[in-house]
Each structure stands twice: as structure tokens, then as C-alpha cells.
Homo-oligomer: A and B are copies of this chain.
Amino acid sequence: MRTCLLYFKPMGKAVEVEKGTNLMDAVRKAGIFLDAPCGGKGLCGKCRVKVIEGEHRYQPSHLISRQEEESGIRLACLTTVEGDMTVELAQTVSAGDIIVEDITSDTTKKSRVKKAVHVLRDSGIRIQNSFRTVEMKIKKPTLDDNIPDFERIIRELNPLMESKRLNCSVELLRKIPRVIREAAFDVNLVLREDEKNYEIMDITMQKGRKIYGLCVDIGTTTVAACLVDLYTGEIEASANSGNLQMQYGADVISRIIHSTKPGGLERLHDAIVQGTVNKLIERMMEKRDCRPEDIVCSVFAGNTTMTHLFLGVPAENIRLEPYIPAFRNSPVFRAKDIALDINPNAPVYVLPNVASYVGGDIVSGVLASGLWNSDEVTLFIDLGTNGELVLGNREWMVACACSAGPAFEGGDISCGMRAAPGAIDGVKIHEKTFIPSIHTVANAKPAGICGSGIIDLIAQMFFSGIIDGKGKIKQSSNSCRIRFNQAAGCYEYLLVPAKDTVNGRDIVINEIDIDNFLRAKGAVYSGIRTLLNSVGLSMEDIKKVIVAGGIGQNLDIENSVQIGLLPDIDRARFEFIGNSSLTGAYLCLISDEARQKARQIADLITYIELSADPTYMEEFVSACFLPHTDISLFPSVKHVYETKFTSSEFFSPYEV
């Protein structure tokens, strides 16, 4: 087989691959991150590269214009290497560039965490974990007092241990003789207590040492972590980044598909553990004078697929009927079992899943939100790469997952992107001229549109009459912003012209994008309706709506209601709680009883499989309009639109 040499600009990286290799695989082999939301199926167009020279074959794509094709632009996933090549990659968003909410970044966020702790404490849950450090002067051995080192430690610990046994790993036992002598029998022990045993987690000569815990929210798209002082509960450092698994697909389905390829599961496991979490740990340790051995406990929250891949457990049955995960409550493993770079014996707690598409991140969020302790009927909405809903109070909870896809994170949208610098996250459109004013993340030159920007954009397009209730662009308009896209075969709206964008390409939204988005928001709204139906309640019975997840950060609540994503109820009932999955993981780190509570929550939640619900499909279809086919559900919106649209425009007859 012939070997081809590939050279990648502007990184200056080179790699040798066999002739016939897929170009996307070659880019990965060179260690370059290339986003691939669709998982390499040629659907999303996010893996655009420019072939400078070199023999190759490629499949044409409607995502690439004739002119671009002539200039060498290709989709890497549809290109096959046939000889030595030089390839230019765009300055793509790397996993590390994605903006993720830091639960410690400002006072509001910090006070949310504090509030969550208070809610726990007020409900009688002890904020106490099973780790402690013990400074210990061990009696020096003599000929008359010659008991072994390990039993000598037990003897000193006896008043503490009662009838419990003392354990440790073999690595630690190997360390004891040297450390206690170097320390002249004056040592510091890190101990973990459980029902039957004490365990030595570390032994050092260092005095006054701190011990840390690690909590991590493993999102499909983003990963956020905190380093916590296990004595004080203080968050001492935090870090976040994209999930390096992104290069194998944006959503859980494409990840699962990748996991079934040879070596795929191992690659995904490595991408999250080595490629993402261990890097976050390293960054946090640098901020503090902290060694891996000092991090003695860890808690992880993620959706069902993410927790499977994080543990390296096959996830394929999640996607195949009847949709069976491998586990709900994972046994407690040790850091060394999954190659986490912390104390090798640190327990790894993974928050329990509810079902295939309602995972530990939701259980964690429900714990952090206080819903489990609420008298009032509360709706918990997590809008991330998918949408998950929990409805209930302290007596009962029902939950479902909406197949919203990655629309709220810029996926499935031609110019969509994640919330990185340059992402348009806010839009206003002049009602007359259709000229937009935009806001971008970090005020950078526009590069694409992220979730909150898309909500604003669609609301504004509808509001200004650019699109109708079905999301179709009204061809009657003669604004130069509206035009027909030959390649896509539909109309599009020009948001930012090429000259003003970072990559020299127009930022547009077309009818296919809008349709994708309407399906996503329809999935969420119809999910809410189906949950309510399942317990015989109506929208007005919802006394509180808690919005969690990355989308919540810049979400415009009014726009979200007006497009029919969120229920049209008193706006004062809405509350944003940010990354509640991370907050819940934090709670489970500082409190053993909180972890038990999370298990109880997971057991209490009744999962509703939407696809099996007879009313769901009808609800979904009705919710794919702007805002809904039943305008009576949106009383506050109704009068706004009635002044804007003729009834025929508004009630676009679905039957047609």
C-alpha cells in the first residue's frame, strides 16, 4: 500500500497515511481538532478544508459552491487521499475555545451555588464527606515494641477507627515504610471512611496539607470542572473546554455510531478522559499548589451516552430499540480504573441515569434546582445539545427527552456555531429595512450564529414579517437581504455579508435551517405538553420554570416564548440556574448524603418515552409552527401577531 505525506497549513503539521485514507481521519491522525457535528456524513459542512495541491478524490456537496469547489474547497469527510497533499485548514474553533459557563465566574453564579447548598442543608441533608486528613506522631519502634508499620498506624488510629478495618492500595502499602521513616514517624494521612472500613488514600510528611475533590459536568459539547477544597467546600479553581469527542460527531447518536467502529469506543473514551478531563485537571492544578495525589474524590455528571463513553462502556444499545443502557447506577470505580490523572484510588462517582436519554446530568440538575424539595409543580428544562424536561415536585417527577438535536448549540444550521468568540448571540431586525443589528460573543468579528442568536433571529424575522408561521421566507419582500440559494434550493436571509465576517463567507439563515430549528423548538414545546398531559395538568399549573444548560446564559425569555419554545406563562415564574449539572455534581462531592439523594431522585423520576406516547406526534406537528397552531396557548403573543399578519399568513394551514 502506498504511503502519502500530508502537510497541513497553517499549523505546519505533517502526517503519513496510506493511500485511500479519508482526509478527515488523516487530519485527526495529525492530532488536529476538526469539528464534525454530523460525525463525518457530509451533512453539516463544518469540516471544510482547502486543498492547495495533491492528488485526491472527492464527492461534491451542495454545501460547497461551484466557485468554492474550483478554488479547492472540500469537505474533508468526503475526500479521499490519493497522493501527497498540502491542505489548508481554516482557523477552526478548537475544543478549548468554546465559551462555557463558569459557575464561579461572578457573584450571581456563586450565589446560585450557595443557594443550592442551603436548600440541601435546610432539608436536613448533612454537608459532609468521608475524607479527612490526620496528622499523626507514630510511636517509634524499638526491640520491645516491634509491631509492623501498618499495624503501628492502626494502633494510633484505633480511637478513631472503632471496630473498622484499615485498607489501602498495594502501591500505598509499598510507600509506607519509606515515608514514615523519612518523616521521622511524624506523618500526614489522608483517610476515607465508609461503613465498614477506613482507607489510607495517601501518606506524606507534609503538614497542613489540603485535600481536594473534583466535580465535572460532561456535556456532549462542553465539559466544565471544578476543583474543590474538601474541608471548606470552597471552589478553588474551575476550568472548562469543548468535549474533544466533538470531532467524532456533534450529538450522542453520531458518537454512538462512531463507538461501534473498530477502536471507536476506545477513541471516544480517550477523547473525554485523556483529551478533555485530564487536561482540565492539569489546568486547575496549575492554578493551585496541588498534586494529583491531593485530589482524592471525583464526581461526574453527564447524559447517559456520555457516562457510558466516559467509563468506556459500550453505548450502542442506547440507540437500538428497545433503547437499553448498560447501567443506570454505575458501581463506584477508582480513578486508576479509567486513567484519570488524580489520586489513583480516588473514588469515581457517576451520577445515576434515569433512562437512555435522561441522564445523570439531569438528575444532578434536579438535585441542584431544589425541584425534589418543592411543594409547587415545577418544570425543569435543560437546553443543551438535546433538550430534557422534568416536571414535578417533592412527591413525583416525570421526565422526557426531546429530540431537539444540536440546534440550540448551532448544529443543523448552515452558519450555526457554538458559543465561541465571534458567535452571533443576539439579533435585532429593523421592521422596515430588514437590516439586522447583531451582538457577538466577546464582541469579535462575526463567524456564525449560536443558539441564543438563532432564537432571536427567528423571533425577529417572524416579528418583522420576513417569515411566516411555517418558517417560509415571504418572497413578496424585495429586500436585498432576501435571496434564492441555488445550491440549497431555497430562500435565505443574509445576516452578515462576507466582507464583514471572519472567514470571508456570508452568514445566512435559509429555509432549511429555519425548518430544522422549528422542529427543535417544536420538540421541546410538545415535550412539555406531553408531560403535562401524562399527569393531567395544564400550562397554568406550572408554578415555576427552571431553565438550565448552556443555552440559558444569553437566552432572551421574551423571544423564546414568542417563537413557541417556552410556555406563555407569567415571566416572573422563569428562573435561570445556569450549569445545574455541574452544581449538582459539586453538591455530591461535598456531601455523601447528597449523593444518596441523587440516587433517590433518579429512582423517583418516571421516564416518559415520547415516541411511545400516542398524543406526542400530534403535539409535535402543532408545535412546529410559529408559535403554535393553537394560538390560544400563547395569549400574550396572540395580539402582537394579530397586528402583524393576515390570518391566512398566520394560520398557515397545515393541511395544505
> Chain A residues in contact with chain B, CB under 8 A?
141-143, 145-152, 165-170, 173-174, 176-178, 181, 195-196, 311-314, 316-317, 321-333, 337-338, 353, 355-356, 609, 612
Contacts and interface: CB of A to CB of B under 8 A. Distances in A.
A223 B149 CA distance: 27
A178 B326 CA distance: 10
Tell me the number of copies of this protein.
2
A331 B149 contact: no
Nearest to A154: B329
A327 B154 CA distance: 10
Classify the secondary structure of A's interface with B.
Answer: loop
B312 A174 contact: yes
A538 B418 CA distance: 89
Given A148-B328, A173-B313, 13 more contacts: A146-B356, A149-B317, A149-B324, A150-B329, A151-B328, A152-B324, A165-B331, A167-B331, A168-B331, A169-B333, A174-B313, A181-B317, A196-B196
Contacts of A328: 147-148, 150-151
Top 3 A-B residue pairs of the complex, sorted by shortest distance between their CB atoms: A150-B327, A148-B325, A167-B331
Nearest to A197: B331
Contacts of A167: 331-332
Nearest to A321: B143
B311 A173 contact: yes
Given A196-B195, A313-B173, A322 B148 contact: no
Contacts of A168: 331
Contacts of A330: 150, 173
A326 B176 contact: yes
A314 B148 contact: no
Contact of A141 (B146, B312, B324, B327): B324
10 contacts: A141-B324, A146-B324, A147-B328, A149-B317, A150-B327, A165-B331, A166-B331, A170-B311, A176-B326, A181-B317
Nearest to A145: B322
Contacts of A317: 149, 177, 181
B176 A323 contact: no
Contact of A170 (B166, B316, B337, B356): B337
A79 B150 CA distance: 41
A295 to B, nearest CB: 19
Contacts of A147: 324, 328
Given A146-B356, A166-B331, A168-B331, A141 B322 contact: yes
B612 A149 contact: no
B173 A331 contact: yes
A589 to B, nearest CB: 20
A407 B561 CA distance: 92
Contacts of A316: 177
Nearest to A315: B177
A176 B324 CA distance: 12
Contacts of A313: 170, 173-174, 177
A331 B169 CA distance: 8
A146 B355 CA distance: 8
Nearest to A311: B170
A162 to B, nearest CB: 16
Given A143-B612, A146-B356, A170 B312 contact: yes
Q: Which of A196, A326, A612 has the most CB of B within 10 A?
A: A326
Nearest to A172: B331
A542 to B, nearest CB: 27
Contacts of A311: 170, 173-174
Nearest to A176: B326
Contact of A337 (B146, B148, B169, B314): B169
A143 B609 contact: yes
A356 B177 CA distance: 14
A173 B326 contact: yes
A649 B282 CA distance: 80
A152 B149 CA distance: 45
Q: Which of A147, A148, A170, A177 has the most CB of B within 10 A?
A: A148
B146 A323 contact: yes
A140 to B, nearest CB: 9
A325 B174 contact: no
A147 B603 CA distance: 11
Contacts of A327: 148-151, 173
Given A170-B338, A173-B311, A314-B178, A151 B329 contact: yes
A320 to B, nearest CB: 10
Contact of A314 (B145, B177, B333, B353): B177
Contact of A149 (B150, B166, B326): B326
Nearest to A152: B324
Contact of A177 (B145, B151, B326): B326
A170 B323 CA distance: 21
Contacts of A148: 324-328, 353
